[in-house]
Structure 1
Amino acid sequence: MDSTESPDRDFIDKVRQEWTRSYPDVDSSPIEIMGRITRISSQALHQLDRSLDSSGVSRAEFEVLCALARCDRPLRASEVTAVTMVSSAATTKHADRLVKLGLVERKRFERDGRVVLLQVTDAGRALVDREFPGRVDRDRRLLEGLDAEEREVLARLLRRIARNSDDADRI
């Protein structure tokens, strides 16, 4: 077995090797990390999409429900947009559908009737209660083989990369 077929190698190793061959003057080492982050994220989101098929909501709608379910108060649409990282138009579209499904309700803000708040309904909370533990369990399975210390180190390193990404968005 040659070094390209080592059992420790993965899809990203193959991709990086191809880029190195095609662009030998470009340091493609960031692919080692960013390529894996992207691939893992894509696969995890695909698994979530499949698991939500029977619930009748999309992943984006589920993210809106989760944002509302984990908060101890109703949220403005702009607050939901901020935590779900989708456009305000998409938040409105998702909220409209969730309201029609009876999973979210709109309420008027007591101090300013022009402000509309979104709140998860009992049916919406039941859906989150049913689906969220499975999501966490799938994530846990992705981390199998890492001990608590390795998970802590990985979380700390990824937090630094996430901050770099957040900072890049502000520039």
Structure 2
Amino acid sequence: MPAAGDDFITRLRHSWQRTLPELDTTPVELLGRINRISALSIQQLDRVLASSGVTRSEFDVLCALARSDRPLRASEVTAQTMLSGAATTKLTARLERIGLVERKKLERDGRVVLLQLTAEGQDLVEREFPRCVAHDRELLTGLDEKEQAALAALLGRISDNAERTR
């Protein structure tokens, strides 16, 4: 495993410095690391979830429903998962077919469809979510609580900037 000084992102930044030496490529290093961590983490979570029979995106839908204290509209699931509306529709249809999600009509307006977990869906989330958290915890190996808190605060500020420029 490469050290932080010679990893993929550092090599990428050095390549850009040779190509465009007048350009400060600090953002490439910082956001490149965030993006690379995200991509690698997603690939790894897909492997963690493979035995459960659901994809990471499907699991995101299940988790959005599990966190809610009430059934959700598809648009609410979309907002919580950052999936597209079309993806939410496709994923929830599959999750319904395999018995993890059910649709129900809103009592006061039958045109409104709500999504909720089935007992099987709840069981899957309760079984798999701790495994996902353990994976995330492993990625933070070597950072103490204070460092994790500082990193979370810094990433929160970057996240706020990204939200403002959407």
1:150 is matched with which residue: 139, 147, 152?
Answer: 147
Aligned-partner SS, 1:61: helix
Counterpart residue number, 2:19: 22
8 Å contact kept, 2:4–2:10: no
1:118 is matched with which residue: 115, 119, 126?
Answer: 115
- Which segments of structure 1 move beyond 6 Å, counting only runs of 4 or more? none
Query: Within 2, Cα distance between the matches of 1:7 and 1:92?
Result: 42
Counterpart residue number, 1:79: 76
Aligned-partner SS, 2:165: helix
Task: Map 1:65-144 to 2 at 5 A.
Answer: 65-144=62-141
8 Å contact kept, 2:105–2:113: yes
> Over aligned residues, Cα RMSD in angstroms?
1.2
Deviations 1:38-83, CA, capped at 9 Å, x for gaps: 1111111001111122222111111000000111110000000001
Deviations 1:77-98, CA, capped at 9 Å, x for gaps: 0000001111111111111000
| Closer, same or farther: CA 8–97 of 1 in aligned 2, 3 Å | closer
Aligned-pair identity (%): 59
Q: TM-score, normalising length from structure 2?
A: 0.95
Give the CA deviation at 1:25.
Answer: 1.9
Counterpart residue number, 1:164: 161
Query: Within 2, Cα distance between the matches of 1:88 and 1:43?
Result: 25
5+ residue gaps, structure 2, are: none
Aligned-partner SS, 2:99: coil
Q: TM-score, normalising length from structure 1?
A: 0.92
| Closer, same or farther: CA 19–136 of 1 in aligned 2, 3 Å | same
